[in-house]
Structure 1
Amino acid sequence: MAIQANGMFGKTADGREVHSYTLKNSKGMEVEVLDYGCIIRAIRVADKNGKVEDVVLGYDTVEGYEVNDGYLGAAIGRFGNRICKGKFTLDGVDYSLAINNGENALHGGIVGFNQKVWNTKIEGDAIIFTTTAADMEEGYPGNMEVTITYTLSEENGFVLDYKATTDKNTVINLTNHSYFNLSGNPDDSVVKEYIQINADYITETDEGSIPLGNLMPVEGTPFDLRTLTKIGDGINGDHQQIIWGGGYDHNFVLGKDKQMKLAAIVEDKESGRRMTVYTDQPAVQFYTANFLTGVDGKNGAKNNYRGGLCLETQNYPDAPNKPLFPSCVLRPGDLYHYTTEYRFDII
């Protein structure tokens, strides 16, 4: 395994330099990442015929990541997913967050972790990103120190390791928002790909994608993805949850144990590529790019509606306001730590 520093990728609108790095293994797999938002800009992996193609959506420039919605490839924090009305109470103290998704707070606020230029260090076969989120930044309490480490194995496993500490009681939910398209052709819709998610329940939501607080069994619904299922089979159905989400945009419950577990499998039959997702998080958000609008992406391609899928390993959305959900509270002296692996092979 090797890591290559590619030099400056560009500059942000306010003049901050952004640098690119590439992780490589002996099998020809490459992962290109940026220090801006810890963005996973490219994952290049072979198909069944040995043809290496990029299987994530992205942009050619820093400006593309700055001006477009969608959080393509980015680290998400302090709190991934939604917090109802941007409000929560912790230890008797009420907090109001930056609002950026209707009346709710989404993915850390107006200026989230996806817009920071992170400190970067290459250490052995790992690239280590660090940043500090200041007390009350975007409304969240506590000075938070965050470390995200990326490694690539010889087994084509791309591992994301998250750690954080705080000096005040706070809430946290970190994830990554990569959009995968295993065909290697971003013009192909992911509705033709197959997915399996090892979840018996989703968190049922209201029209604004805020969890109601209950777990909805997937049995007999388009969310029963416990065996490999063509995404297109359920994505346009008349189930109310599908209608409100504009497709799949839901939190699948994996179990509260903190052991690494098989969360999901995605297969593209034509290319033969398969991606397997492992995590020690209690849930994964399955999202089918229902709100991408076809803006210019990489290498002349478009980032199209349903042109990618996200599998965002996470705690439950709105956990600060749902006492029965797994705790998202981080306290001084404690370590937030979890790991996710995206592993690639051939069917």
Structure 2
Amino acid sequence: MAAVESIGEIGGTEVRAVTLEGGGLRLRLLTWGARLAELWVPDRTGVPADIVLGQDNLADWLAHGSYLGATCGRHANRIAGGRFVLDGRAVQLDRNEGANTLHGGAAGFDLKHWRIESHSASHVTFAITSPDGEMGFPGTLQARATYRLDAGLVITMAAQTDAPTVVNLVNHAYFNLAGQGAGDILGQELQVEAGFYLPVDDHKLPTGEILSVAGTPFDFRQPRSIGAAMPGPGGFDHNLCLSSPLAGDGLRPCLSATDPVSGRRLRLATSAPGVQLYTGAHFAGGPGKAGARYPRFAGFAAETQDFPDAPNRPQFPGTVLRPGQVYSHVMRLDFTPAP
């Protein structure tokens, strides 16, 4: 079975950590936020390092968590004005980023205590019930996040509702393939299977256009270093629209990331239509794990997802979930050493 331990309390509720190990990987997960807190991956010589950003203790998670490794929802990314119309009814959400809603509101799923529904030597499933009206979202939602070791790491997010609502669950891990605390990720290389991207306004909201990546900083169809591709001082915080078709397993190739020094390579596949590439411009030397300080661009997030502000953009793939339907979002992470 998975190793499960109590690591303290947040708000009077026990937080438990779950450790899974297999296939050369070791991960540590928290019930608080259904969160990926550690992911140990070997380099080309077999030496492991923890490649996801995080914190060592619950006090630091609370103070500096910044969505690190969390399962975000009920509707991740941004919704303009925190409002949308569903079946003719205006819905107003909690607004936690100026006039807009980010990652489900001020009390999103990243700050919730998830329960352990099941676990084994190779998996753990976390579950949560979000009541009707929480953060303004209609319908009672039953959500699950499953982490499974299967040669690589498979993360499955699922949900069902008792009334029409909108759902977009994402995993918000930040990766540094050289190892967390090893500096910035500007020299690491990305290749993304995306021919289009969503331009954004000054509030990081999609303008509604879907533009070709050709001739832009968003063209990662061939491998490029993150630093060489930067669109400006703020780095990337944009949705790339995936162009590869779904394979027989229901997943499409999404992204390949390589650290040339360590040789660690991540290959990501997903069932989702987009990936939010965020390069961590907000990090400013704050504390991380094992005494590390996280500088600007200390890690990159590759949040496979439905498109931001989808409830207000009929030209985007929809995020409406109705009773009797099952929301499912799968991402698979495979690690192989680069030559």
What TM-score does the superposition give when structure 1 sets the normalisation length?
A: 0.93
One-letter amino acid of the structure 2 residue matched with residue 44 of structure 1: W
CA distance in 2, matches of 1:128, 1:18: 15
Contact 2:183 / 2:294 at 8 angstroms: preserved in 1? Answer: no
Report the more deviating stretch, 247-256 or 176-185. 247-256
- Write out aligned runs for 1:168-247 (5 A): 168-235=163-230, 237=231, 242=232, 246-247=234-235
CA distance in 2, matches of 1:68, 1:82: 21
One-letter amino acid of the structure 2 residue matched with residue 128 of structure 1: T
* Partner residue in 2 for 1:4: 3
Query: SS at the partner of 2:110?
Result: helix
CA distance in 2, matches of 1:103, 1:21: 37
User: Pick from 91, 112, 119: which aligns with 2:115?
Assistant: 119
- Deviation by residue 1:72-120 (Cα, 9 ceiling, x = unmatched): 0000000110000101110110011111112110001000101111110
Seen in structure 2, the aligned counterparts of structure 1 residues 60 and 69 have a Cα distance that, compared at 3 Å, is closer
Contact 1:144 / 1:164 at 8 angstroms: preserved in 2? Answer: yes
CA distance in 1, matches of 2:211, 2:315: 14
CA distance in 1, matches of 2:54, 2:119: 23
* Partner residue in 1 for 2:307: 316
CA distance in 2, matches of 1:233, 1:17: 44
- Deviation by residue 1:136-191 (Cα, 9 ceiling, x = unmatched): 100100000001111012x2x11101110001100010001100000015232100
Identity %: 37
Which residues of structure 1 form unaligned runs of 5+?
none
What TM-score does the superposition give when structure 2 sets the normalisation length?
A: 0.95
Query: SS at the partner of 1:109?
Result: coil
CA distance in 1, matches of 2:261, 2:255: 19
Query: SS at the partner of 1:313?
Result: strand
Report the more deviating stretch, 59-68 or 220-229. 59-68
CA distance in 1, matches of 2:288, 2:296: 12
How many residues are paired up?
Answer: 334
One-letter amino acid of the structure 1 residue matched with residue 47 of structure 2: K
Report the more deviating stretch, 185-194 or 322-331. 185-194
Deviation at 1:28, TM superposition (A): 3.2
Deviation at 1:123, TM superposition (A): 4.1
CA distance in 2, matches of 1:90, 1:168: 11
Deviation at 1:302, TM superposition (A): 1.5
* Partner residue in 2 for 1:102: 98
User: Pick from 319, 325, 338: which aligns with 1:334?
Assistant: 325
Q: Does 1:280 align with 2:271?
A: yes
User: Pick from 135, 138, 141: which aligns with 2:138?
Assistant: 141
CA distance in 2, matches of 1:205, 1:177: 20
Seen in structure 2, the aligned counterparts of structure 1 residues 227 and 30 have a Cα distance that, compared at 3 Å, is same
User: Pick from 220, 232, 240: which aligns with 1:252?
Assistant: 240
Which residues of structure 2 form unaligned runs of 5+?
none
Contact 2:147 / 2:156 at 8 angstroms: preserved in 1? Answer: yes
User: Pick from 89, 92, 98: which aligns with 2:88?
Assistant: 92
CA distance in 1, matches of 2:161, 2:267: 32
Contact 2:181 / 2:289 at 8 angstroms: preserved in 1? Answer: no
User: Pick from 124, 128, 141: which aligns with 2:125?
Assistant: 128
Query: SS at the partner of 1:262?
Result: strand
Contact 1:256 / 1:326 at 8 angstroms: preserved in 2? Answer: no
Report the more deviating stretch, 117-126 or 190-199. 117-126
CA distance in 1, matches of 2:180, 2:307: 32
Query: SS at the partner of 2:227?
Result: helix
User: Pick from 47, 56, 59: which aligns with 1:60?
Assistant: 56
Seen in structure 2, the aligned counterparts of structure 1 residues 271 and 109 have a Cα distance that, compared at 3 Å, is same
Contact 2:195 / 2:243 at 8 angstroms: preserved in 1? Answer: no
Query: SS at the partner of 1:66?
Result: helix
CA distance in 1, matches of 2:120, 2:131: 26
Query: SS at the partner of 2:53?
Result: coil
Seen in structure 2, the aligned counterparts of structure 1 residues 256 and 210 have a Cα distance that, compared at 3 Å, is farther
